[in-house]
Amino acid sequence: MARSAIINVMVQAALKAGRSLARDFGEVQNLQVSLKGPADYVSQADQRAEEIVFTELSRARPGYSFLMEERGEVIGDDPQHRWIVDPLDGTTNFLHGIPVFAVSIALERQGQIVAGIIYNPAMDELYTAERGGGAFLNDRRMRVAARRELGHSVIATGLPFLGHGNHGQALVDLRNVMGEVSGIRRFGAASLDLAYVAAGRFDGFWEENLKPWDVAAGILMVREAGGYVSDRQGEQTMLTSGSIVAGNEEIKAKLLKQLQIKR
């Protein structure tokens, strides 16, 4: 598959950061970990990966701005372009030796996501998408699943944890959805949840209290695979509200309906 220049830039940054993470993942017991907040850890591996991505993208596209999980917002000379980066989505999985984590990079142009990369180095799975160019897993075209009934569907979600999120609302959402579906999965890495929706592995996904770097690349991935994405009100505030619902057209609509039940 022929890739555009911008996708090649993003892929090289993700692969280089992924190689660093893979080395640290192999020695996870020896990682030094600092406590950033309740159950919210930042490892040296995370920081190294972010530095690699920042350096690689800055070298390739000087002047572009950044929004990064650890570094925060970096304003460049080019206000029309912004990289949105999570160098290690699934930090808790990583630190527990669970091979479900990813590097996520999105490019925003004039407020619109135009390219996205999600890379899981533990499984060597590279997800790419470019606006109008489709979505791919290791160069194989992806399409969202075609199931139309919730009863046949596996739906992914994220759950709040110590010190984060609305636990009561999450339990209401689970109760409203789990009785209608074939199964619910909680993998602990929103970027990969969205990539799995794009790949047809999950039929749908919802979560609350997410950050832009968790979902920016995945939103484009799902759309370019033929899927639909909104917040839980059916609006397009995902990057600002932290709320997201995704799937094919019918599953997303039915999932939204369940999430809007008040009981």
**Residue 245's domain is classified under what CATH number?**
3.40.190.80
Indicate the pLDDT class of residue 1, thresholds 50, 70 and 90: low
In 10 A of CB 245, how many CB atoms?
26
Q: Would the annotation count 124 as a binding residue?
A: no
Q: Would the annotation count 27 as a binding residue?
A: no
Q: Would the annotation count 77 as a binding residue?
A: no
In 10 A of CB 84, how many CB atoms?
24
Give the number of domains in the chain. Answer: 2
Indicate the pLDDT class of residue 160, thresholds 50, 70 and 90: confident
129 and 163 co-located in one domain: no
Q: What is the pTM of this model?
A: 0.94
164 and 84 co-located in one domain: no
105 and 196 co-located in one domain: no
- Of 79, 107, 141, the residue that ends a domain is 141
140-153: per-residue pLDDT in tens? 999 999 999 999 99
- Of 120, 141, 162, the residue that ends a domain is 141
Indicate the pLDDT class of residue 39, thresholds 50, 70 and 90: very low
- Structural domain range at position 208: 150-259
Q: What is the mean pLDDT of residues 115-135?
A: 98
Q: Which residues contact 96 (CB under 8 A, 6 or more apart)?
A: 28
102 and 132 co-located in one domain: yes
Helix or strand holding residue 91 (H, E): helix 91-95
Q: Would the annotation count 78 as a binding residue?
A: no
Q: Would the annotation count 214 as a binding residue?
A: yes
20 and 120 co-located in one domain: yes
Q: So what's the pLDDT on residue 68?
A: 96
SS3 55: helix
